[in-house]
């Protein structure tokens, strides 16, 4: 074990290039298995950056994900207020509560159940692209497509009226911001909970009125007493949020990376069978949950030769693990033909993304047709004019102005 | 090759069913793994090893030989 003479670096670090993690990650990955970092409030935490350590932490039951435990590492004041107020999210629960709540939903997200949604998703993709063509360029791809598709899909799956998408999208935006007044994300959570409470009460009154996930949750879990109404509200809240925000950002960033790498786009267009691997590569390359996965040690644990004392917190940097040359050849290269599914974009361990099959399916349906339907899709503004979500829980691009079709003279 | 699954560790991610549907399925009520073939044919061995690596709950054990 070496002693670090200099001050621990401040975490999170800033990105130099919007599409690459901060350069410091590569250096930290080489320096030591786990490194000490300083946080906004003067506290400190460990940082796991290597894929083997990230994996080891995420599967180790001696670490807790419970954000309400004193000393749990937080990346901002807003994040701290969100994690310590209101009902805990699935991602912050430990077994056995986590197991019980997750199992109540897992049957809805099996590989086969999600596959059955493919025709609906394909139809929605076609419909949205048709609307873009009708409207004509230039358009903001985020507003007109990347956000619309997952919002429409999750609304249909859950049985949430899509007409109310502006409300839940706006709640989500307030919830993921890091630098806002700490009351903002808490209020967003409350607004969304009040909405889900009303919606779920309707479903509980008449669970057979429509065939959707929340009606089934009411009929099979809440009414028989397996889940309380409040637990159902909390799950509904999380499903709406997680179901659109993350996928929307991935669709926009995936599109951007194909626009910026014409040779990769050409490979994909020449061989549509590469769609699935291209999607996995986008997930690995962008890793949009870019700095917020944290744990606290419930007892002394040794990871990568470093002892972590009971009560010490750590950040599990999946962004760095997904660019670890120990696991991925030439990791900073975006390669649609890369055959790797062992990335951490959906995290790992018991908290791995519940909706991963749905996210994959949506992205696969998008990238199977997008660049065919909108030929010569390209940016309508210089790359430097794009604004990225540096200080958001979920990384992404705020707007993606695009044009397509024939290039005008001059 | 012998495949063993630990249903108490399974979180129902469906990675295995997506990787080797010939060997793994999921319980339709809670997503838990259903082992269809504990002794898969050799052409599936590589995919089964991959499924074991990808399993986020470390619920799949592969005994070679």
Contact A377, A165 (CB under 8 A): no
Does residue A4 surpass a pLDDT of 80? no
A176: confidence class by pLDDT, cuts 50, 70, 90: confident
Q: Does A325 touch chain B (CB under 8 A)?
A: no
Q: Does A102 touch chain B (CB under 8 A)?
A: yes
Q: What is the pLDDT of residues A18-57, one digit of tens each?
A: 999 999 999 999 988 899 999 999 999 999 999 999 999 9
For B57, nearest residue in chain A (alpha carbons): A349
Does residue A2 surpass a pLDDT of 60? no
Residues 140-169 of A with CB under 8 A from B: none
Task: For the beta carbon of residue A183, count every other beta carbon within 10 angstroms.
Answer: 12
Chain B interface mutation, best of A107, A117, A216, A277, highest count of B Cβ atoms under 10 Å: A107
Q: CA-to-CA distance for A83 and A88, rounded, in angstroms?
A: 7
Percent of chain B's residues with pLDDT above 70: 100
Q: What is the pLDDT of residues A278-294, one digit of tens each?
A: 999 999 999 999 998 99
pLDDT at position B26 is 97
pLDDT at position B65 is 79
Does A111 sit within 8 Å of B17, measured CB to CB? yes
The model's pTM = 0.96
| Residue whose entry in the numeric block shows the structure tokens 């949205």 | A128
Q: Does B58 touch chain A (CB under 8 A)?
A: yes
Q: Does B50 touch chain A (CB under 8 A)?
A: yes
Please provide the average confidence, as pLDDT, over all residues in chain A.
94
Which of B12, B13, B56 has its CB closest to that of A103?
Answer: B12
Residues 25-44 of B with CB under 8 A from A: 25-32
Sign of dihedral through CA atoms A153, A158, A159, A161? Answer: negative
pLDDT at position A409 is 54
Contact A215, A208 (CB under 8 A): yes
| Residue whose entry in the numeric block shows the structure tokens 């889900």 | A196
Q: How far is B9 from chain A (nearest CA, A)?
A: 8
Contact A315, A303 (CB under 8 A): no
């Amino acid at each position: 074990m070496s002693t670090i003479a200099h001050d621990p670096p401040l975490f999170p670090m800033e990105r130099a290039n919007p599409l690459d993690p901060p350069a410091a990650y590569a250096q930290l990955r080489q320096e030591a298995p786990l490194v000490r970092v300083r946080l906004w409030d003067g506290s400190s935490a460990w940082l796991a950056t290597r894929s083997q350590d990230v994996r080891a932490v995420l599967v180790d039951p001696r670490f807790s994900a419970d954000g309400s435990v004193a000393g749990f590492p937080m990346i901002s004041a807003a994040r701290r207020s969100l994690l310590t107020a209101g009902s805990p999210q699935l991602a912050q629960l430990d077994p056995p509560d986590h197991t019980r709540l997750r199992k109540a939903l897992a049957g809805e997200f099996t590989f086969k159940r999600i596959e059955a949604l493919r025709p609906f998703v394909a139809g929605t993709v076609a419909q949205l692209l048709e609307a873009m063509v009708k409207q004509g360029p230039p358009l903001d791809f985020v507003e007109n497509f990347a956000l619309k598709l997952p919002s429409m899909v999750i609304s249909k799956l859950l049985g949430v009226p899509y007409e109310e998408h502006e409300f839940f999208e706006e709640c989500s935006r307030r919830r993921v911001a890091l630098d806002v007044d700490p009351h903002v994300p808490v209020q967003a959570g409350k607004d969304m909970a009040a909405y889900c409470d009303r919606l779920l009460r309707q479903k509980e009154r008449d669970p057979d009125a429509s065939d959707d996930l929340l009606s089934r949750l009411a009929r099979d879990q809440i009414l028989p007493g397996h889940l309380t109404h409040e637990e159902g509200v909390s799950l509904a809240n999380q499903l709406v949020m997680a179901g659109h925000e993350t996928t929307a950002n991935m669709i926009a960033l995936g599109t951007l990376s194909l626009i910026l790498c014409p040779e990769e786009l050409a490979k994909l267009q020449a061989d549509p069978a590469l769609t699935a691997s291209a999607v996995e590569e986008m997930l690995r390359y962008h890793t949009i949950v870019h700095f917020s996965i944290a744990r606290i040690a419930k007892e002394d644990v040794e990871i990568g030769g470093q002892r972590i004392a009971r009560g010490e917190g750590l950040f599990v940097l999946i962004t760095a693990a997904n660019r670890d040359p120990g696991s991925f050849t030439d990791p900073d290269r975006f390669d649609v033909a890369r055959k790797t599914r062992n990335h951490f974009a959906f995290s790992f361990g018991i908290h791995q993304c519940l909706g991963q099959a749905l996210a994959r399916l949506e992205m696969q349906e998008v990238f199977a047709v997008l660049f065919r339907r909108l030929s010569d899709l390209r940016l309508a503004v210089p790359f430097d004019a794009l604004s990225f979500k540096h200080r958001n829980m979920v990384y992404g691009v705020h707007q993606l102005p695009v044009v397509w079709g024939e290039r005008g003279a001059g | 090759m012998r495949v063993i699954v630990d249903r108490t560790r399974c979180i129902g991610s469906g990675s295995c069913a997506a990787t080797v549907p010939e060997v793994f399925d999921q319980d339709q009520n809670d997503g838990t793994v259903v082992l269809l073939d504990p002794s898969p044919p050799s052409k599936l061995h590589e995919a089964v090893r991959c499924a074991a690596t990808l399993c986020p709950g470390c619920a799949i054990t592969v005994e070679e030989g």
